[in-house]
Amino acid sequence: MAYTAKLLSIMVVGILIGIGINKNSKKTGKDWEWLSRLSGKVQTFVVIYLIFVLGVRIGSDRHVFEQLDKLWIVALVITVAAMGLGLLFVHILRKVLKFDREGVKADD
């Protein structure tokens, strides 16, 4: 729980810094676009690194390979269910908010 609170507090600090930068750029007219591009590149690198580390951990776990004949079915069911539910929720939300397939509001 403490670890989650630490992560959330770090995220909140980042959000507050972003809000401050946004307000400052409106007042001074300074362009902070470079910071947005840099943070996007850093995020991409970190995600790729985490996926790599996850692959190494899974690849080095003997238990995973011993259970592979059972795990692939569970992984397939979870993947199909997540995709199906995601599509269903998007469809329902689109109908509730009255957006067409292109994302244009029906009232406009």
- HEC secondary structure over 91-103: HHHHHHHCECCCC
pTM over 0.75: no
d(CA 57, CA 64): 10
d(CA 37, CA 25): 16
Q: What is the pLDDT of residues 59-102, one digit of tens each?
A: 888 887 788 888 888 889 999 999 999 999 999 998 898 888 77
Break the chain into its structural domains and give their ranges.
1-60, 65-108
Beta bridge partners of 99: 105
Q: Which amino acid is at 103?
A: G
- Helix, strand, or coil (residue 47): helix
- Could you tell me if 99 and 106 are in contact, meaning their C-beta atoms sit under 8 angstroms apart? yes
Higher pLDDT, 64 or 6: 6
d(CA 44, CA 38): 10
Q: What is the pLDDT of residues 18-57, one digit of tens each?
A: 888 888 777 777 777 888 788 889 999 999 999 999 999 9
Q: Which amino acid is at 68?
A: L
pLDDT for position 4: 93
